[in-house]
């Protein structure tokens, strides 16, 4: 371990380089240089061997880079969100086995690891049986445990369904340093930042008011438009308010309907970002707590069109890979909805793994066919053309007794949509393609779509985009 001359106050905080100080309040000694690596990783729910293997591999790389502490996201051993798998005894047993495997495999690295996992309640028979936890391990031993205090139950979250809350943040001793450890929502209840709050308790305030120390927050915080900059402002407020560095490590990648954007970061005590992870990609940040780098000069757009597109690509790519779909199929109409869906699919799965089906009818214009073919050529995806005219006519003939003499309405149009949906599902059954539906949020919200027709599919890629956003 490198030892660097420095100055600490009596609370253990580094103060050298941070302005004038009262020398009577200081202790002069040697401060261990603390290299920390932040690992925003893409985990898979219930893939314990895969998640452990990824953490072990990155821990080795962190040690080679000189890191003393490797930090991983919330529930990085189990994957997030595990939902009702948490009620399965086999899942919880495998999670415990995975933690023991990780402890054993990293015992000889000489490196501390902070990982997220589930642990049994410390009050068996009372309350929920599990805690959402952060575990500090080194040398084959568990050195510290933090149990998540604030459990969200709004929007996509339902953590109090499964977990018992912890009571307070935990103070960990890290290679001669002290740090407060929190998990995601624990940091989202600052009374000086939010006009209204979800909880009566602010565990960060209670902890940092009496234990001045750098704050570590491991998270599985999903992407939504506007949240990136909000999250950064919230963490900066904590750093400035308590005059302490903030270390934030977020999950990346897609799990079912949730997409995580990563963007792990380190802030100095003034709330300035000094290290920032990539968006929607696995990344590793290496920092020295004794010598934080200069503030980042440019913060990328976290919530604009490019970020939304990357979220769609990440979500589709991971959904297909983690569900075992090697390829995708979708209908190409020549319109902007199917065009955007095809572009996302080509970027997410590779153009060679995307099949576009052109299904013309007596009502299909030549321009629509040309547009669809041009799109496929530009994206380099494969296409197949199926004329549904005869199928459509057969439908009408079989239904003629019931429809004869009635004025035309949406019935005939919806028959075409259902024929197309049937064809796409047949190709999926035969070749194992993932069917991508192409409806947008405006259509789905107003019911402007066809049940068993354009709503058919395994994943609605752009269903969270309004038509104007498409």
Which residues does the annotation mark as catalytic?
A: 74, 148, 184
**Residue 254 CB: number of other CB atoms within 10 A?**
25
Q: Rounded to an integer, what distance in angstroms lies between the CA atom of residue 363 and that of residue 412?
A: 11
| Among the listed residues 398, 392, 447, 465, the one whose alpha carbon sits nearest the alpha carbon of residue 423 | 392
Task: Cis check for the bond before 264: say yes or no (omega within 30 of 0).
Answer: no
**C-alpha of 137 from chain center:** 24
> With b meaning 16 or more CB within 10 Å and e meaning fewer, what string describes 13-43?
bbbeeeeeeeeeeeeeeebbbbbbbbbbbbb
Q: Which residues contact 451 (CB under 8 A, 6 or more apart)?
A: none
- Which conformational region is residue 46 in: left (phi greater than 0), alpha (psi within -120 to 50 degrees), or beta? left
Q: Are 332 and 383 in contact (CB under 8 A)?
A: yes
How are beta strands 69-71 and 112-120 bridged, if at all? parallel
* Distance (Å, whole) CA 95 – CA 99: 6
DSSP of 358-415 = E---TT--HHHHHHHHHHHHHHT-EEEE---HHHHHHHHHHTHHHHTTSPP-HHHHHH
For residue 4, list its beta bridge partners: 31
């Amino acid at each position: 371990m490198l030892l660097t001359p420095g100055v600490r106050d009596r609370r253990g905080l580094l103060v050298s380089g941070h302005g004038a100080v009262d020398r009577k309040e200081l202790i002069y000694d040697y401060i261990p240089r603390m290299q920390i690596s932040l690992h925003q990783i893409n985990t898979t729910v219930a893939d314990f061997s895969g998640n452990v293997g990824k953490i072990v591999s990155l821990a080795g790389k962190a040690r080679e880079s000189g890191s003393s502490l490797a930090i991983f996201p919330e529930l990085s051993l189990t994957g997030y969100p595990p939902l009702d798998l948490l009620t399965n005894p086999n899942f919880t047993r495998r999670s415990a086995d995975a933690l023991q495997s990780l402890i054993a495999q990293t015992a000889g690295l000489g490196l501390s690891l902070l990982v997220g996992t589930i642990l049994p309640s410390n009050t068996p028979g009372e309350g929920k049986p599990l805690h959402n936890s952060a575990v500090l391990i080194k040398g084959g031993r568990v050195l510290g445990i933090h149990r998540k205090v604030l459990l969200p139950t709004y929007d996509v979250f339902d953590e109090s369904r499964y977990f018992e809350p912890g009571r307070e943040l935990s103070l960990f001793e890290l290679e001669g340093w002290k740090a407060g450890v929190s998990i995601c929502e624990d940091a989202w209840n600052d009374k000086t930042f939010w006009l209204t709050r979800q909880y009566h308790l602010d565990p960060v305030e209670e902890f940092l008011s009496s234990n001045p120390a750098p704050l570590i927050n491991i998270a599985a915080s999903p992407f939504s438009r506007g949240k990136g900059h909000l999250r950064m402002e919230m963490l900066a407020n904590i750093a400035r308010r308590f005059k302490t560095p903030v270390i934030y490590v977020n999950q990346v990648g897609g799990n079912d309907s949730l997409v995580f954007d990563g963007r792990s970061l380190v802030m100095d005590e003034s709330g300035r970002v000094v290290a920032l992870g990539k968006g929607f990609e696995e990344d590793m940040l290496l920092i020295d707590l004794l010598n934080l780098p200069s503030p980042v000069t440019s913060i990328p757009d976290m919530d604009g069109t490019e970020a939304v597109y990357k979220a769609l690509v990440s979500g589709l790519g991971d959904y297909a890979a983690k569900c075992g779909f090697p390829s995708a199929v979708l209908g190409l109409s020549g319109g902007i909805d199917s065009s955007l869906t095809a572009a996302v699919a080509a970027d997410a799965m590779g153009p060679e793994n995307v099949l576009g089906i052109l299904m013309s009818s007596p009502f299909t214009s030549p321009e629509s066919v040309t547009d669809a073919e041009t799109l496929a050529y530009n994206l380099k995806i494969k296409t197949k053309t199926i004329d549904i005219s005869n199928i459509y006519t057969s439908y009408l003939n079989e239904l003629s007794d019931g429809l004869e003499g009635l004025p035309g309405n949406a019935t005939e149009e919806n028959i075409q949509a259902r024929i197309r949906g049937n064809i796409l599902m047949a190709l999926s059954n035969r070749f194992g393609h993932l069917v991508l539906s192409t409806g947008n949020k405006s259509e789905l919200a107003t019911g402007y779509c066809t049940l068993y027709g354009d709503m058919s599919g395994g994943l609605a890629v752009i269903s969270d985009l309004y038509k104007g956003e498409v």
